[in-house]
Amino acid sequence: MRMPADPQDLSAVQRCLRGETAVFSELLGRYKLRVFSYLLRVVRNPSDAEDLAQETFLKAYSKLGSYDPAHPFLTWLFRIAHNCAVDLLRRRRPEEFSLEDEEEPLETADPAADPERRAESASTRESVDHALAGLPAPYREALILRHREGLDYRSMAGVLGVPEGTVKIRIFRGRDLLRKRLSEMGLAGA
Amino acid sequence: MMTCAGMRERLQELVDGEGQALAETRAHVERCPACRRDYEALSAAASAVAGLDAIEPPSGFEEAVLRRVRLRLGLGRAARLVACALLSTWAAAGFLLTSRFLKGHAWGFAGFLMDPQASLPGLKLGVLQAFVLVRDLWDILSTLLQLRLGSPELVPLHWLVAACLAAASLRLIRSPDNGYRRSL
């Protein structure tokens, strides 16, 4: 089901377009947390995530005139953020956005492999974040948009610029991989 | 009755709550312990992602974005001013060239009626000037197109009118000589 824009967002966008640029800070304050969290989990580098989040809001501001109120403002922001992240990852780490190795998630330090590190793991959430970070970027991104942000398949297809069938495949495979990793880490019931 | 074969995708759809035959899948999961275990593990993975904390951007993030927005706004205004200045110059040049050409033609036509042989060089010059004029007008047009004259925000019409008036005043003050007059 596709939701239209939130009336508050729509009003803020219209005021921005009429020249009340200060209103943009309302939209920024409302969505900075979710956009930054999403980008950080996709690119896995705080400095890159901050740059990309800034770029996302700047692009959003420049393109406010092209925003379609038939879709939620946040979905539109995610679309811009996704494009920014893909550009960066393809430029710096092209292997990460490839799904050739979809059955072989990227190697990252695994807390389960080292009992001491496992003991040091501050919380289950950190471990889940760690397990998620070990998935290929397209799966990681699909899971975040689906479960953390609550987007439906159709909205996700719009954000990621792929068919709904591809979205489903990424979610299914990503979830399967995450389940295996959580199980290996002893967090199957997380 | 549903069997475990091909349940992998159905279980995933059940976790998402989107897909076909969700009720049948749910009924199968309730009956089948192996599929129930799979379903619970997948649901746990989904819940784990859903339960992740939001992460605060670094302090000063909002100010940095707003600063960049303001900078871009300032640059936009500066670009508009430069575009207006450019267009004004082009409009003035276009006006001068056109008026000069028309006036030259008037003299040339009159001279041709009075003495066709004597004003032939002037007419040749007129043809050349026509080419130059068309070229210059095309330059003006392409510049206007490049600067998106269609956007009223970018190039206010009063700027162009003012530029044309300024060019007309200049034209009245300085009456340029031309080849036709000399040929007469």
pLDDT tens track for B17-62: 887 788 889 999 999 999 999 999 999 999 999 989 889 999 999 9
Residue B57 vs residue B126, higher pLDDT? B57
Quote the ipTM score.
0.78
| Residue A112 located in a structural domain | yes
Asked whether residue B136 carries a pLDDT value surpassing 80, the answer given is no
Q: B79 Cβ partners below 8 Å, 6+ apart?
A: none
- Rounded average pLDDT over A141-150: 94
The one-letter code for the residue type at A46 is P
Query: How sure is the predictor about A80, in pLDDT bands with cuts at 50, 70 and 90?
Result: very high
Residues A112 and A70 occupy one common structural domain: no
Range 2-61 of A in CB contact (< 8 A) with B: 21, 24-25, 28-29, 32-34, 36-37, 40-41, 46, 49-50, 53-54, 57-58, 61
Residues A178 and A156 occupy one common structural domain: yes
Query: Using an 8 Å Cβ cutoff, are A76 and A47 in contact?
Result: no
Range with the poorest average pLDDT among A63-67, A134-138, A152-156, B138-142: B138-142
Chain A CA closest to residue B55: A37
| Residue A101 located in a structural domain | no
Give the whole-angstrom CA distance, residue A22 versus residue A45: 30
Query: Using an 8 Å Cβ cutoff, are A84 and A52 in contact?
Result: yes
Sign of CA dihedral A175, A178, A180, A185: negative
Query: Using an 8 Å Cβ cutoff, are A61 and B72 in contact?
Result: yes
Show the tokens assigned to B10.
């159905």
The pLDDT, as a whole number, for residue B92 is 75
pTM over 0.80: no
Residues of the domain holding A4 = 1-96
CATH number for the domain that contains residue A73? 1.10.1740.10
Contacts of B16 in chain A (CB under 8 A): 146, 153, 171
| Residue A102 located in a structural domain | no
Contacts of B46 in chain A (CB under 8 A): 143, 146-147, 175
Residues A82 and A169 occupy one common structural domain: no
Query: How sure is the predictor about B94, in pLDDT bands with cuts at 50, 70 and 90?
Result: confident
Contacts of B37 in chain A (CB under 8 A): none
